[in-house]
Chains A and B, each alone.
Chain A
Amino acid sequence: MRFICLGYADPTVFGSMSKEEMESAMEGCFAYDDELRRGGHFLGGEALQEAKSGVTLRYSANGVEVTDGPYAETKEYLGGILILEARDLNHAIALMSKHPGVRFGPFEIRPADESINTLIEQRNQAIGG
């Protein structure tokens, strides 16, 4: 099964870390990603720039409104996603519990919706040729 792991982070935690600490944290995450790759579990990932460099679009009666960043009241922001191959939800939990990234903020593990993904793939095939 494919799971999408959403990694959240509290920017103030990173703000208080030294350059060495940051580098060591990144190194730890990359090394564990390699472990996942070795086991065939790492299908892909994307890191996100900090939340304040993004915008949120929301549809309303006045049309589409654009606001800065995500919800202002949240302390933790989505920092990156990881696409994980695991046998089932408990296997995904076991794999991600060992990921050093979980120390910097919560992970949300969501199963991929493969029925909709199949439809998306069909569109890709139809348009891409």
Chain B
Amino acid sequence: MPSVDEVTTAIEHIYREDSRRVFATLVRLLGDFDGAEEAMHEAFAAAMTQWPEDGIPANPVPWLVSTGRFRAIDSMRRMARFQRSPEALQAAVAPEWSVEEIDEKEFRDDQLRLIFTCCHPTLPPATRVAMTLREICGLTTEEVASALLATPPAIAQRIVRGKAKIREQRIPYRVPSRRELPERLDSVLSVLYLVFNEGYSASRGGAAVRHELTATAIHLTRTLAALLPDPEVIGLLALMLLHDSRRDARTDEDGDLILIEEQDRSLWDRPKIAEGAALARHALAAPAVGRHALQAAIATLHATAPSTAETDWAEIVRLYDLLMQAAPSPVTELNRAVAVAMRDTPAAGLFAVDAILERGELHDYHLAHAARADLCRRIGRLDEARASYERALALATQGPERRFLERRLRELRATPRTG
């Protein structure tokens, strides 16, 4: 028989690797998030007492699911007895069921069911993010709160309301049909990207928390890509890896931002770039190319170029054109304008940026004004550059971005006035 220490180590490992799979299946079997969570913890507690005597089962996941479900039904029966409610007792008498009936595919589908339910479009986006982190990734409420820079009670209420909505609206626990898959998958991918971005661009909170959040997003996207190898999932995974490859190069030791053209490219994570680029190629080869695949292709060109000057800007503009067809947005148009400035001239880029700003949608978007300021600076229209940097600074909220804009303004003030 294994020693208690061996069992403890094994259980810790299984908890880390498989507890969310156990949870996902228990949600389906018990039809309730809270009940499934308690049942899962009871199952792990039971493992702690039974495994040192009976040995570690060959297939721990079905054992844990079966034990959790058994414990939950036991508890429901006891509760029904003292509530003296025949309906509750009836509900607790579930049909007989054995673990052998659950095959690997069912377990995988349960994971997908959990992901699609937590990212359901009827839930507000902030709720989807909180539920994804807690229910799918297994973070505690307090960890989610610290990652999202919110208080634990605020996150707890978001999650309670999200679960209530799933119950009240009878959101089914299933993988969407082929017909609704693209839209539902898009909702999942945007949640994953929000989680990644929260970690990637957050300026407040400790660096460790932020890295953990990007790592969590990458891990979950990787899991999703294995469960559902859709080109868009693979494209998003590629995009995250390519962005994350620059993590060590994009800030200096004071946490100040370093623009891509000034980054030390030897600090870029080459294995991550290689993996991201290969995945991006794979995603781009799909018959219908989506926005994540296109963004990943653009990110590949940046990540594999030896310098800003030697970047294939013509190809980047072409990919932005495709992206504007696949998913038109003013921010994409702005990025395209910046690429045009690099391919042609800063004046050509400025012309495009001004046309976008005139339409008004990006009027309060600090990066639009920062882009305009940079182009004016390069043409030598320094007064206009100053005005645009000031406008960007008035709109920017994040520390490193503000410090970057302030630095640019100081540099401009140091140069002699032109106009």
Residues of A that sit less than 8 Å from B by CB: 1, 27-28, 31-32, 35, 38-40, 87-91, 93-95, 97-98, 111
Contact check, A87 vs B83: say whether CB atoms are below 8 A apart. no
Query: What's the nearest-Cβ distance from chain B to residue A28, in Å?
Result: 6
Residues of B that sit less than 8 Å from A by CB: 34, 37-38, 41-42, 45, 75, 78-79, 82-83, 134, 140-143, 152-153, 155-156, 159-160
Query: What's the nearest-Cβ distance from chain B to residue A70, in Å?
Result: 24
Question: Knowing A87-B41, A95-B38 touch, does A31 contact B79 (C-beta < 8 A)?
Answer: yes
CA distance A1 to B37 in the complex (A): 16
Contact check, A88 vs B83: say whether CB atoms are below 8 A apart. no
One of A31, A38, A89 near B153 (C-beta < 8 A): A89
Contact check, B75 vs A89: say whether CB atoms are below 8 A apart. no
Cβ–Cβ < 8 Å partners of A90 in chain B: 134, 141, 156, 159-160
Question: Knowing A39-B38, A40-B45, A95-B38 touch, does A89 contact B156 (C-beta < 8 A)?
Answer: yes
CA distance A27 to B156 in the complex (A): 30
Cβ–Cβ < 8 Å partners of B75 in chain A: 35, 38
Known: A88-B152, A89-B155. 18 other contacts (CB 8 A): A1-B142, A28-B82, A31-B78, A39-B41, A39-B42, A40-B45, A88-B134, A89-B140, A89-B141, A90-B134, A90-B141, A90-B160, A91-B37, A91-B38, A93-B156, A94-B34, A98-B79, A111-B152
Main secondary structure of the interface of A (DSSP, over half): helix
Query: What's the nearest-Cβ distance from chain A to residue B212, in Å?
Result: 16
Contact check, B78 vs A94: say whether CB atoms are below 8 A apart. no
CA distance A94 to B162 in the complex (A): 13
Contact check, B142 vs A88: say whether CB atoms are below 8 A apart. yes
Contact check, A31 vs B82: say whether CB atoms are below 8 A apart. yes
Question: Knowing A39-B41, A94-B34 touch, does A89 contact B152 (C-beta < 8 A)?
Answer: yes
Contact check, A28 vs B45: say whether CB atoms are below 8 A apart. no
Cβ–Cβ < 8 Å partners of A93 in chain B: 156, 160
CA distance A88 to B141 in the complex (A): 6
Contact check, B140 vs A88: say whether CB atoms are below 8 A apart. yes
Interface centre among A31, A40, A93 (most CB of B within 10 A): A93
For the complex of A and B, the 5 pairs showing the least CB-CB separation, nearest first, are A88-B140, A94-B34, A88-B141, A31-B82, A89-B141
Cβ–Cβ < 8 Å partners of A32 in chain B: 79
Contact check, A35 vs B142: say whether CB atoms are below 8 A apart. no
CA distance A97 to B356 in the complex (A): 52
CA distance A32 to B81 in the complex (A): 11
Contact check, A39 vs B34: say whether CB atoms are below 8 A apart. no
Cβ–Cβ < 8 Å partners of A87 in chain B: 37, 41, 140
CA distance A18 to B407 in the complex (A): 75
Query: What's the nearest-Cβ distance from chain B to residue A106, in Å?
Result: 14
CA distance A38 to B38 in the complex (A): 11
Query: What's the nearest-Cβ distance from chain A to residue B44, in Å?
Result: 11
Contact check, B79 vs A94: say whether CB atoms are below 8 A apart. no
One of A27, A38, A39, A111 near B82 (C-beta < 8 A): A27
Closest residue of chain A to B152 (Cβ to Cβ) is A89
In the complex, 11 of the A-B residue pairs with CB atoms within 8 angstroms, ordered by the A residue number, are A1-B140, A1-B142, A32-B79, A38-B75, A39-B45, A88-B143, A89-B156, A90-B159, A93-B160, A98-B79, A111-B152
Query: What's the nearest-Cβ distance from chain A to residue B58, in Å?
Result: 27
Cβ–Cβ < 8 Å partners of A40 in chain B: 45
Cβ–Cβ < 8 Å partners of A98 in chain B: 79
CA distance A95 to B37 in the complex (A): 10
Cβ–Cβ < 8 Å partners of B34 in chain A: 94, 97
Closest residue of chain A to B81 (Cβ to Cβ) is A31
One of A27, A28, A38, A94 near B37 (C-beta < 8 A): A94
Query: What's the nearest-Cβ distance from chain B to residue A3, in Å?
Result: 11
Cβ–Cβ < 8 Å partners of B153 in chain A: 89
Cβ–Cβ < 8 Å partners of A27 in chain B: 82
Query: What's the nearest-Cβ distance from chain A to residue B84, in Å?
Result: 8
Contact check, A28 vs B83: say whether CB atoms are below 8 A apart. yes
CA distance A39 to B82 in the complex (A): 18
Cβ–Cβ < 8 Å partners of A91 in chain B: 37-38, 141
Cβ–Cβ < 8 Å partners of B143 in chain A: 88
CA distance A38 to B71 in the complex (A): 10
CA distance A88 to B42 in the complex (A): 15
Query: What's the nearest-Cβ distance from chain B to residue A42, in Å?
Result: 13
CA distance A1 to B143 in the complex (A): 12
Closest residue of chain A to B83 (Cβ to Cβ) is A28
Closest residue of chain A to B82 (Cβ to Cβ) is A31
CA distance A93 to B157 in the complex (A): 9
Query: What's the nearest-Cβ distance from chain B to residue A122, in Å?
Result: 24
Cβ–Cβ < 8 Å partners of B156 in chain A: 89-90, 93
Closest residue of chain B to A27 (Cβ to Cβ) is B82
Closest residue of chain A to B35 (Cβ to Cβ) is A94
